[in-house]
């Protein structure tokens, strides 16, 4: 089961039910928000997706924290920023494993795509680890559309707009296999891309 939150807001969520929780957040607003998600029971797993769409002069700033406080918990967070116009997006992402969360895992991946020369994206990932018997990692990338891939698609007969759309969709949908490519999430992404164009 996947839970979709259409507009991110400041909140604190506690996941105490064992099993896998799939949360997908979307954000398009020019405000500052804080989101903390705590895994407070053992054998709990979180797949978290945060999609941020900014355009015109939108300025988004988000602080995200995943907090693992029980043993045998696992958190995977995927952050996607799609920026254009003169907009900006900033995310401070913190993954915390407390001393009681033995044999837990936390992974943080952020990818940002800049569609204009005047927009900007920044992600500051950090790990706070209080237990040595855990696994934790983070990665981050910021870039533009791949010109070689764009050239390849247009050389196969696609127009520039369609080629860009394919690359953007591929960028946003890269890790959705973690939630079985949920159709409602795919539809929501396509709807945001239509309004973002």
Each residue's pLDDT tens digit, 94-113: 999 999 999 999 999 999 99
Q: What is the pLDDT of residue 197?
A: 61
**CA 44/CA 170 separation, integer angstroms:** 29
Let me know: does 78 contact 45? Beta carbons within 8 Å: no
pTM of the model: 0.94
- Which positions ≥6 away from 51 have C-beta within 8 Å? 24, 25, 26, 27, 80, 82, 172, 189, 192
Q: What is the pLDDT of residue 6?
A: 85
Report which secondary-structure segment, H or E, holds 50. strand 44-54
For the chain, the farthest-separated pair of C-alpha atoms sits apart, in whole angstroms, at 57
Q: What is the pLDDT of residue 12?
A: 92
Which two three-digit tokens encode residue 13? 């969520």
pLDDT class for 173, splitting at 50, 70, 90? very high
User: Percent of the chain beyond pLDDT 90?
Assistant: 90
Let me know: does 189 contact 169? Beta carbons within 8 Å: yes
Q: pLDDT averaged over the chain?
A: 94
**CA 152/CA 123 separation, integer angstroms:** 30
């Amino acid at each position: 089961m996947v839970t979709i939150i259409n507009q991110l807001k400041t909140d604190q969520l506690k996941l105490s039910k064992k099993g896998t929780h799939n949360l997908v957040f979307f954000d398009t607003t020019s405000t500052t928000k804080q989101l903390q998600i705590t895994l407070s029971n053992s054998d709990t797993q979180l797949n978290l997706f945060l999609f941020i769409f900014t355009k015109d002069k939108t300025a988004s700033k988000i602080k995200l924290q995943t907090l693992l406080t029980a043993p045998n918990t696992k958190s995977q967070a995927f952050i996607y920023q799609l920026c254009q116009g003169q907009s900006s997006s900033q995310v401070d992402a913190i993954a915390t494993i407390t001393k009681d969360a033995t044999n837990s895992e936390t992974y943080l991946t952020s990818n940002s795509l800049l569609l204009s020369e005047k927009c900007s994206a920044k992600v500051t990932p950090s790990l706070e680890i209080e237990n040595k018997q855990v696994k934790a990692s983070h990665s981050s990338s910021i870039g533009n559309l791949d010109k070689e891939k764009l050239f390849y698609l247009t050389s196969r007969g696609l127009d520039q707009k369609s080629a860009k759309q394919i690359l953007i969709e591929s960028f946003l949908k890269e890790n959705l296999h973690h939630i079985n490519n949920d159709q409602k999430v795919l539809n929501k992404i396509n709807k945001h891309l239509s309004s973002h164009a």
